Amino acid sequence: MNTPPPAAAAARPDLAVTIAGIQMQNPVTVASGTFGYGKEYAHLVDLRQLGAITVKGIRLQPWDGNPLPRHVEVPGGMVNAIGLQGPGVAGFIRDYLPFLREVGVPVLVNIWGTSVEEYAEVAERLSDVEGIAGLEVNISCPNVKEGGASFGADPRTVAALVAAVRRRTRLPLIPKLAPNVPNIRPYAQAAAEAGADALSLINTIPAMVINIETRRPVLANKVGGLSGPAIHPVAVKLVWDAAQAVKIPIIAMGGITGPEQAIEFLIAGASAVAVGTATFIDPGTVLRVIAGIEDYLVRHQIQRVRDLTGSLLTT
Amino acid sequence: MNTPPPAAAAARPDLAVTIAGIQMQNPVTVASGTFGYGKEYAHLVDLRQLGAITVKGIRLQPWDGNPLPRHVEVPGGMVNAIGLQGPGVAGFIRDYLPFLREVGVPVLVNIWGTSVEEYAEVAERLSDVEGIAGLEVNISCPNVKEGGASFGADPRTVAALVAAVRRRTRLPLIPKLAPNVPNIRPYAQAAAEAGADALSLINTIPAMVINIETRRPVLANKVGGLSGPAIHPVAVKLVWDAAQAVKIPIIAMGGITGPEQAIEFLIAGASAVAVGTATFIDPGTVLRVIAGIEDYLVRHQIQRVRDLTGSLLTT
Amino acid sequence: MHDISAIVHAQHVLNAGYQCLVLDAPAIASMAQPGQFVHLRITGLEPAALRRPFSIYRASDSQLSILYKTVGRGTEQLSRLRPGDTLTAMGPLGNGFPLETHDRWPVLVAGGYGVAPLSFLARRLNRQGMLLVGGRTAADILCTEEFTALGWDVRVATMDGSQGTHGLVTTLLDAWLARPGHPAATFYACGPDGMLRAVAERAQLAGSPAWLSLDKHMVCGVGACLACVQRLRKPDGTTWIARVCRDGPIFEAGEIVWEHPR
Amino acid sequence: MHDISAIVHAQHVLNAGYQCLVLDAPAIASMAQPGQFVHLRITGLEPAALRRPFSIYRASDSQLSILYKTVGRGTEQLSRLRPGDTLTAMGPLGNGFPLETHDRWPVLVAGGYGVAPLSFLARRLNRQGMLLVGGRTAADILCTEEFTALGWDVRVATMDGSQGTHGLVTTLLDAWLARPGHPAATFYACGPDGMLRAVAERAQLAGSPAWLSLDKHMVCGVGACLACVQRLRKPDGTTWIARVCRDGPIFEAGEIVWEHPR
Ligand SMILES: Cc1cc2nc3c(=O)[nH]c(=O)nc-3n(C[C@H](O)[C@H](O)[C@H](O)COP(=O)(O)OP(=O)(O)OC[C@H]3O[C@@H](n4cnc5c(N)ncnc54)[C@H](O)[C@@H]3O)c2cc1C
Ligand SMILES: Cc1cc2nc3c(=O)[nH]c(=O)nc-3n(C[C@H](O)[C@H](O)[C@H](O)COP(=O)(O)OP(=O)(O)OC[C@H]3O[C@@H](n4cnc5c(N)ncnc54)[C@H](O)[C@@H]3O)c2cc1C
Ligand SMILES: Cc1cc2nc3c(=O)[nH]c(=O)nc-3n(C[C@H](O)[C@H](O)[C@H](O)COP(=O)(O)O)c2cc1C
Ligand SMILES: Cc1cc2nc3c(=O)[nH]c(=O)nc-3n(C[C@H](O)[C@H](O)[C@H](O)COP(=O)(O)O)c2cc1C
Ligand code: FES
Ligand code: FES
């Protein structure tokens, strides 16, 4: 006899998503640069519960980043100019990857370079290594003079960069787009057409804070990037716009402090989300977001989180 | 005998500035759309103390704006989609200008249109009228489908629009630039070369808020513009960038809540500033900003506010 | 109109979820008319938080009260303020109800906290009348004793039947209108949009004036930002866009152009 | 290391502008070592406010204290918390001072609130030593009685001469070092960068180890964000970039590559 399961014993909703071929147990990762290499938060956050771990941006060689101060608090968030300090590809593989492999959740490596060739080489070098699920290609960091944002400023340079990296790796490629554009669509389309498997957005918004007593920029780098709750409504708009323009999935970030903001992103069209600045204030945020999405699905009787993606009603 | 004035009786600092030929008794105006036509705040703010009054955007004919809801509160500010409701040129001249003339401070009229021709015609119609000191040309409103932001999205369209308006009026022209560009410099330069007398920046940043319970955009217009403290560091960066690129003066706005943020703008390169969203929360803000700038100048022994403009130390 | 620092004089819990805040604010209180409101900057919310509008519930020469429901972070913070705390109050704002009833019987229709301005109105009207008050459950029914004490005819409806008639407040209104020979009325209503519209329709049928207090989200409260607009019809049939905060919040039902005609 | 909700047990005013906050936080207190710090999420600041780091001043099995100076909006809000209020505390963070003095005399050099971790250190060291403490004025000189009570040699300097020697704390240090035959010392210092650097220079000349607690603006507190870095020299002469929050905040003076060499 075929008895249907009793309605009361509602199945737990399915949180799993597949982004760019990467299977995530839930749609929540951490934003690059806000979670170190995973290890740093291992005492406070059960890493095995994350959908993925996205690590701090790395280039080919070790990189010092900017002088201090590298951050300043502002209403609704912070402005940072870390400047992509990192151990380089070899250092990352040697010092951090073994630990991450043990955790057992997909690892997304955020990469950058000062030339198209460097991006491509970083990608290639990471392709042969075990334990890397995909590459988030940072073409929008406002905090380094060469590289970073300059590649993200024009759809043509985005296309050229993504295509060049695409030729050198089979790993899923997830370009991370800049928020400060008149219209995100041509950028998203350029990346998709050049072979991107997914998109990440948004990076921090270029910003500056001046100490009016000394009349100097507070950050040693003069300018930095704004992150935190202040940028969330801006990010939702960009995610919605991008989701209209391309079919590839979107990993959304910018100002998530709890499940509500993450759910907004999913409804706007994101397939996954990343928690950034909020981790600094409450390392438990990322787990709270996962649990809160699940609760929301139960409450709204939505079986699969992927059915929430792009479910915005506009009529 | 030539006795120097005693050092103790320090003269009050000179707050006067001349922007695009417009003489302002101090460098503080109000941001378009946040102060109505002056009248609405006349009971709460002594209008005669302002450096200038910038009124709500108008086009040729009366315009209804967007359906409600038109605003939503967010961390560090608000997102609005008023949609440029206004009385049209004739209605403005008839219903509001007589009152503004009586106040006796310079009036800046924010103008917009859905075509280059309409912008030019609005400018022309306002040129023959007494009591208008200058035109702030809104090429960056994110809240109307045609016009507004679409003209501001490309330096070439900025140039074409400003040039066309320039041909039809002798009034000082102050294009108001959009913040969501990879690099503000070509936009600022295009406007200056096409005949702008000053620049206004920034307008609100395109943004969106979703009600996760109804899965609908909160604003009837779906998207709106972010204003308030959240955007201040972004505005400072853009003002600083623009000030490096052009010689014409800049009126800066975005997230001013007190003298500190206004002074940051001046140091970054603005010649004047405008108080926006903060007026809704505390109508006294604009007067507090004027007094606070004066105090700062006294404290720092700066004789003239124009000496503060662009005084950022970066070495 | 003033924007002043006001001191919390008292904070009373009324029903569950509803409180009454009494402020020392003579400049505003002494000028307040029924139907007007205050726009509060709530101490303890972050500095960038928008103000919140509340109808004036009581006003003497020195004090004014509001009656509010805790619905979100603003009202939650408001409910935490204690005697001696200060907040910033702008007001009195808006036009207020017309106090002249032209020899018609005042019929007040209230939903939830909408009873607040109507209670103030009842105290300032030159005659008694009837209060029809509705809510989801008994806890949403407020101020009825005050009206009874003033000699008003009070009728209650709740959606769950926990107090008075089971159903909407319009059920009460319809029953009263159905009674032959009821006196000519002037309606005064404050509550959710659906209720206001139902009152408007019935008033039109009965040929009675109906003064409605609209509840639109507000930002500036003074007519500057255009967040709170409502389309109105002029006697000549043309329409214009009013600002509820400055041109209202009270409008005659016949003026209002409802957004989705039905 | 834990991130826990801690209850304010007491709040004491010490000198003008300085307070001591006692927290019930057994999980952190019981593990705390001198030189370690806690990273506090201060209740009442808006939710997006970053945490603030404070050295541990005292720790028992159940309670820990910090000694802090009110300098900005975070510490101002901290000073408003009352017994029974809760806040969130992460810790103990950082490496702490080495407790082994290798038979050298511990010489502690403190500036302002920098005396807090050194006071904790004095309680956990196996021997007495000397405290040199400096500040702008007498109000900036804290905890000297505690050290005296523990049998330490305490010497004070103030910039305005209002207490102890007139001048910098390094004046005291130089005077002590100038005295022939002073015992071999291990320095422990906490205070502003300029002071740390002066101690480092003198320790190097004297051939003494010097453990310095660096005060860098922090964000995450756990080594993830790279906001708080400091370049260090390895024994082989190569340099690396340490995270003060995780690899420090205590470093041996000889390791530190000062930013603007003089
Ligand atoms: C003229 C007028 C008179 C009012 N009188 C009363 C009264 O006497 N008693 C009472 O309890 N409430 C009254 N309200 C509603 C009251 O203003 C809202 O309940 C309150 O603003 C909600 O704030 P919150 O932060 O708790 O809720 P939230 O939902 O967290 O508010 C978030 C945002 O929405 C705005 N908002 C939400 N609901 C409303 C609303 N209904 N009207 C305007 N803005 C809103 C808030 O200003 C804020 O910007 C009145 C509203 C108006 C327009
Ligand atoms: C390891 C360590 C231990 C410390 N121990 C103590 C202590 O025992 N007693 C004490 O009074 N102070 C201590 N401080 C300094 C203390 O953290 C700052 O005084 C405090 O963060 C200032 O916060 P505020 O909001 O009051 O000031 P604001 O100036 O308003 O702070 C604004 C921003 O700057 C950051 N910030 C400002 N100053 C510092 C600073 N010196 N270090 C780190 N971040 C800063 C804040 O986190 C915030 O992001 C310590 C700092 C560090 C790094
Ligand atoms: C301290 C810090 C470091 C960051 N480092 C990187 C980075 O290395 N690579 C990158 O692509 N984005 C970096 N970001 C941007 C974040 O990944 C994220 O896009 C942004 O902060 C917006 O999310 P949030 O508002 O939740 O923080 C950094 C952000 C912060 C605050
Ligand atoms: C309610 C509202 C209405 C606005 N209307 C206009 C407008 O009509 N024309 C215009 O150029 N800018 C308009 N703006 C933008 C402001 O003038 C200003 O550029 C922006 O709000 C940033 O300043 P703020 O953060 O101080 O508010 C409006 C802003 C708000 C909040
Ligand atoms: S609230 Fe601003 S016009 Fe009514
Ligand atoms: S504060 Fe984040 S690495 Fe030290």
- Best A280, A282, A287 member to test D by mutation, with max D CBs in 10 Å, is A280
Cα D192 to ligand 4 centre (Å):
44
Same domain, D111 and D197: yes
C224 vs B36, B78, B281: nearest CB: B36
Cα B72 to ligand 3 centre (Å):
26
Confidence tier at A149 by pLDDT (50, 70, 90)? low
**Which tokens hold the place of C185?**
């009325």
Determine the 3-state secondary structure of A232 from DSSP: helix
Question: Which residue owns the Cα nearest ligand 4 atom 15?
Answer: B203
Rounded to 5 degrees, what are φ and ψ at A243?
-65, -30
Rounded Cα–Cα distance for residues C57 and C54 (Å): 9
Residues in chain D with pLDDT values less than 50 = 262
B175 Cβ below 6 A of ligand 4: no
Strand ranges inside chain A, DSSP E: 17-19, 22-24, 28-30, 53-58, 71-74, 77-80, 107-111, 134-138, 173-176, 199-201, 205-208, 210-211, 216-217, 223-227, 250-253, 272-275
Rounded Cα–Cα distance for residues B238 and B201 (Å): 8
Starting from the CA of residue B218, give the closest ligand. 1
Mean pLDDT, contiguous 10-residue spans, chain B (315 residues): 50 94 98 98 98 97 95 97 96 98 97 94 96 95 65 92 97 96 96 98 97 98 97 98 98 98 98 98 98 98 98 94
Q: Give residue-wise pLDDT tens across range D11-51.
A: 999 999 999 999 999 999 999 999 999 999 999 998 889 99
Rounded Cα–Cα distance for residues D99 and D96 (Å): 9
Q: Does A257 touch chain D (CB under 8 A)?
A: yes
Domain's final residue, options C59, C93, C127: C93
Please name which of A93, A51, A109, A101 lies closest in space to residue A293, comparing C-alpha atoms.
A51
Ligand 3 atom nearest to A274, measured from its CA? 26
pLDDT at D262: 47
Domain limits at C160?
97-210
Mean pLDDT, contiguous 10-residue spans, chain C (262 residues): 96 95 98 98 92 98 97 96 97 96 93 97 94 96 96 96 95 94 94 96 95 97 98 95 97 92 50
Q: Which residue carries 């402090």 as its tokens?
A: A257
Q: Give residue-wise pLDDT tens across range C169-192.
A: 999 999 999 998 899 999 999 999
Q: Which residue carries 């906050």 as its tokens?
A: D21
A8 domain residue, yes or no: no
Starting from the CA of residue D226, give the closest ligand. 6
Q: Which residue carries 């103008």 as its tokens?
A: B111
D243 Cβ below 6 A of ligand 6: yes
**Number of domains composing chain C:** 3
**Searching chain B, which residue's CA lies closest to the CA of residue D46?**
B75
Rounded Cα–Cα distance for residues A100 and A102 (Å): 5
Ligand 2 site, CB within 6 A = A 73; D 37, 50, 52-55, 66-69, 71-75, 113, 116, 215-218, 249
B259 domain residue, yes or no: yes
Q: What CATH number did the domain enclosing C132 receive? A: 3.40.50.80
Rounded Cα–Cα distance for residues C182 and C176 (Å): 7
CB proximity list for D70: less than 8 A, separation 6 or greater: D17, D18, D19, D76, D78, D79
Min CA distance, B254 vs chain D (Å)?
Answer: 20
Same domain, D101 and D189: yes
pLDDT at C126: 85
Q: What CATH number did the domain enclosing B270 receive? A: 3.20.20.70
Q: Give residue-wise pLDDT tens across range C36-67.
A: 999 999 999 988 899 999 999 999 999 999 99
CB proximity list for A169: less than 8 A, separation 6 or greater: A120, A123, A124, A126, A127, A135
Alpha-helical runs (H) found in B195-258: 232-245
Specify which residues B14 forms β-bridges with: B304
pLDDT at D213: 98
Rounded Cα–Cα distance for residues D56 and D190 (Å): 12
Same domain, C101 and C198: yes
**Number of domains composing chain B:** 1
Contacts of C48 in chain A (CB under 8 A): 75-76
Q: Give residue-wise pLDDT tens across range D64-84.
A: 999 999 999 999 999 999 999
Q: Give residue-wise pLDDT tens across range A26-51.
A: 999 999 999 999 999 999 999 999 99
Domain's final residue, options D93, D127, D162: D93
**Which tokens hold the place of C236?**
């000549």
Q: What CATH number did the domain enclosing C243 receive? A: 2.10.240.10
Ligand 5 site, CB within 6 A = C 218-221, 223-228, 243-245
Same domain, C29 and C88: yes
Same domain, D74 and D126: no
Same domain, C229 and C251: yes
**Which tokens hold the place of B113?**
């249109």
Rounded Cα–Cα distance for residues B35 and B40 (Å): 7
Determine the 3-state secondary structure of D71 from DSSP: coil
Same domain, C75 and C114: no
pTM comes to 0.96
Starting from the CA of residue B84, give the closest ligand. 4
Rounded to 5 degrees, what are φ and ψ at D218?
-125, 155
pLDDT at position A168 over 90: yes
Determine the 3-state secondary structure of C59 from DSSP: strand
From residue D186, alpha-carbon distances to C97, D58, D104, D151 in Å are 81, 22, 6, 18
B40 vs C217, C222, C259: nearest CB: C222
C218 Cβ below 6 A of ligand 1: yes
Min CA distance, B229 vs chain D (Å)?
Answer: 13
Domain's final residue, options D63, D93, D123: D93
**Searching chain C, which residue's CA lies closest to the CA of residue A230?**
C48
Q: Does B46 touch chain A (CB under 8 A)?
A: no
Q: Does B182 touch chain D (CB under 8 A)?
A: no
Q: Give residue-wise pLDDT tens across range A253-283.
A: 999 999 999 999 999 999 999 999 999 999 9
Instruction: Give catalytic residues of B, as residue numbers.
Output: 141
A10 domain residue, yes or no: no
Are D47 and A43 in contact (CB < 8 Å)?
Answer: no
Q: What CATH number did the domain enclosing C19 receive? A: 2.40.30.10
Alpha-helical runs (H) found in chain C: 26-29, 73-80, 115-124, 144-149, 169-178, 193-206
- Other beta carbons less than 10 A from residue D199's beta carbon: 27
Contacts of B64 in chain C (CB under 8 A): 241
> Could you tell me which residue, A71 or A146, shows the higher pLDDT?
A71
CB proximity list for B223: less than 8 A, separation 6 or greater: A237, A240, B81, B142, B143, B206, B207, B208, B217
B2 domain residue, yes or no: no
Length of chain D: 262
Determine the 3-state secondary structure of B315 from DSSP: coil
pLDDT at D261: 52
**Searching chain B, which residue's CA lies closest to the CA of residue C51?**
B281
Domain limits at A174?
23-305
pLDDT at D250: 98
A243 domain residue, yes or no: yes
- Other beta carbons less than 10 A from residue B211's beta carbon: 14
For chain A, what is the mean pLDDT?
94
Contacts of B76 in chain D (CB under 8 A): 48
Same domain, C237 and C167: no
pLDDT at A145: 62
Cα C217 to ligand 1 centre (Å):
7
Are B233 and A179 in contact (CB < 8 Å)?
Answer: no
Contacts of B277 in chain C (CB under 8 A): 48
Are A65 and D1 in contact (CB < 8 Å)?
Answer: no
D241 Cβ below 6 A of ligand 6: no
Same domain, C38 and C119: no
Three-state SS for B102-144 is HHCCCEEEEECCCCHHHHHHHHHHHHCCCCCCEEEEECCCCCC
pLDDT at A140: 84
Please name which of C88, C75, C53, C59 lies closest in space to residue C223, comparing C-alpha atoms.
C53
Same domain, C83 and C177: no
Determine the 3-state secondary structure of A221 from DSSP: coil
Rounded Cα–Cα distance for residues C40 and C17 (Å): 19
Are D225 and A280 in contact (CB < 8 Å)?
Answer: yes
